[in-house]
Amino acid sequence: MTKWKSVHRKWLDSLRFDNRALQLTFQEYLHTLDEIDQRLTRLDKEIHEQALCSSRAPVIEALQTLRGIQEITAVTLTVEVGDFRRFATAREFMGYTGLVPSEYSSGLSRRQGNITKVGNTHIRRVLVEAGWSYRHRPAVKGDIRRRQEGKPVEILRMSWNAQDRLHRKFNRLTSKGKPTNKAVVAVGRELAGFVWAMAIEVQRQMA
């Protein structure tokens, strides 16, 4: 439960209604929220346990060294993809995410349009969400420092390169007038390349 949520819940608990029907309805809503929170807590615990004992645990742990990718996102990527080796190149994996721009050709002309949005929607969503974190300057502190503890030097190098390169990409695009949301999509697309490369490296070591 986040700090904001705790404060907000405390405020909700303090509310009182003179009308008995309104108070009863309000309490039912709060009870529903409690049930949802408890269900999410149980699911998060199960996902965490499965992530630790899964045969793909090394990949899940390595992906969490990337900024913006915590356990749920790492599990989502790993479960949705399965074996990253089924993609021969990073570009092929990017195409699978649907984050690559569409192309229109006519004679000698060629122009790019919006992203294709084909492929796996879950992967596309989590990569774009993770992409927002790269608007911040590169840094290794807090949770990401904890997630990187004890990881191989090569994995940490890839993680830092991702921070540096994707932050510069975001700044370059926005400084040219690119809308922020489109810049983040472009960052998410390139982040997919780092995800693929890191997963391939881990799977190579596991072989």
Please tell me the predicted confidence (pLDDT) of residue 101. 72
Q: Tell me, what's the pLDDT at 94?
A: 92
Looking at residue 116, its pLDDT comes to 59
3-state helix, strand, coil in the chain (%, to 5): 70, 5, 25
Q: Give, in degrees to the nearest 5, the angle at Cα 133 between 129 and 135.
A: 120
pLDDT of residue 173: 96
- Kindly report whether the global pTM for this prediction surpasses the value 0.85: no
104: β partners: 111
Q: What is the mean pLDDT for each group of 10 consecutive residues in the chain (207 residues)?
A: 71 92 94 89 82 87 96 94 94 90 54 63 94 96 94 96 97 96 95 97 87
Domain ranges of the chain: 1-53, 55-206
Distance CA 73, CA 51 (A): 11
